[in-house]
Amino acid sequence: MTIIKVDEPELATQVLNFIGNNFFTGERLQRFVQSHLVALSSVSQMTLNYLTGENKHIELYAWVDAKHCLVAGMTLNYYPFERLSKQLYFSAPTNLEKISVEPFSKLVSQVESIQMAVELGYSQ
């Protein structure tokens, strides 16, 4: 089995349909595929300068078997920190007595300086 970075549009559409079928159908699936195709990064190395505004940029990967059949797909989603900082995540203290929802910026407030955030999405 091999993991490959997907840059070619036809294969990207196939992989995104594969991933999206686990979550969406019909029109929502097509919106998922199209929004990710538009965000597909064309740069060889993601840098802070490449992330501008509120836009998301993704890298797409496929896990293929020896016959090049698709086994799994994965997206790496890059965002400017200001976009992801407002998103809410579950927060659980070490004693797990109380689970709350906090903005990402508060959860990582101990870190000195964050300028880029990466989110992993996958399907198998």
DSSP state of 66: T
Q: Are the beta carbons of 89 and 102 closer than 8 angstroms?
A: yes
User: Which residues pair with residue 74 across a beta bridge?
Assistant: 61, 122
Q: Which residue from 88, 54, 74, 63 is spatially nearest to 120, judged by alpha carbons?
A: 74
> In which element (H, E) is residue 104 found?
helix 104-107
Full-prediction pTM beyond 0.75? no
Q: What is the structure's pLDDT at 11?
A: 93
* pLDDT tens per residue across span 68-116: 899 999 998 887 777 778 888 887 766 777 888 888 888 777 666 655 5
Q: What is the structure's pLDDT at 32?
A: 93
Q: Are the beta carbons of 77 and 56 closer than 8 angstroms?
A: yes
DSSP state of 115: -
d(CA 106, CA 114): 12
